[in-house]
Amino acid sequence: MDYRKAGVDIATLDRIKKRISRAVKRTFTENVVTEFGHFGGGFRLKGYRKPVLVASTDSVGTKVKVARLAGRYDTVGADIVNHGINDILCTGAQPLFFLDYLAFSKLDADKVAEIVKGAAKACRKEGVALIGGETAQLPGVYKPGEYDLVGTIVGAIEEGKLIDGSSIKPGDVVIGLRSTGLHTNGYSLARKVLIEGNAPLPMDAPVPGTKKTVGQALLAVHKSYRKEVEAVKPLLNGIAHITGGGFEGNVSRLLPDNVDCVIKKKSWKPQPIFRLIQIRGQVAEDEMYHVFNMGIGMVLFVRSKDAEEVREKTRGIIIGRIEKGKGRVNLA
Judge whether residue 262 has pLDDT over 80.
yes
Listed residue (267, 251, 252, 332) closest to 299, CA to CA = 251
106 HSE (CA, 13 A, CB side): 8
Q: Establish if 168 belongs to a structural domain.
A: no
In this predicted structure, what is the pLDDT of residue 199? 85
Express each pLDDT in 173-203 by its tens digit: 999 999 999 999 999 999 999 999 788 999 9
pTM passes above 0.75: yes
- Same-domain status, 256 and 324: yes
Mean pLDDT of 303-327: 97
3-class secondary structure, 9: coil
Q: If you average pLDDT over residues 101-123, what whole number do you get?
A: 93
Number of domains in the chain: 2
316: in domain = yes
With 90 as the cut, is the pLDDT of residue 107 above it? no
Answer yes or no: do 184 and 148 share one domain: no
DSSP H helices, the chain, are 10-25, 63-70, 74-89, 109-126, 187-194, 214-218, 226-232, 246-251, 272-281, 285-291, 307-314
Kindly state whether residues 22 and 113 are assigned to the same domain.
yes
Q: What is the residue-wise DSSP string for 247-310?
A: HHHHHTTT--TTEEEEE-GGGS---HHHHHHHHHHT--HHHHHHHS-TTEEEEEEE-GGGHHHH
Q: Is there a single domain that holds both residue 181 and residue 325?
A: yes
pLDDT of 292 higher than 80: yes
What is the pLDDT confidence band of residue 108, given thresholds at 50, 70 and 90?
A: confident
pLDDT: which is higher, 233 or 198: 233
* Beta partners for residue 173, in sequence order: 302, 321
- Mean pLDDT over each residue of the chain, to the nearest integer: 94
270: domain range? 173-331
In this prediction, residue 3 has a pLDDT band, given cuts at 50, 70 and 90, of: confident
Q: What is the pLDDT of residues 23-40, one digit of tens each?
A: 999 999 999 999 998 899
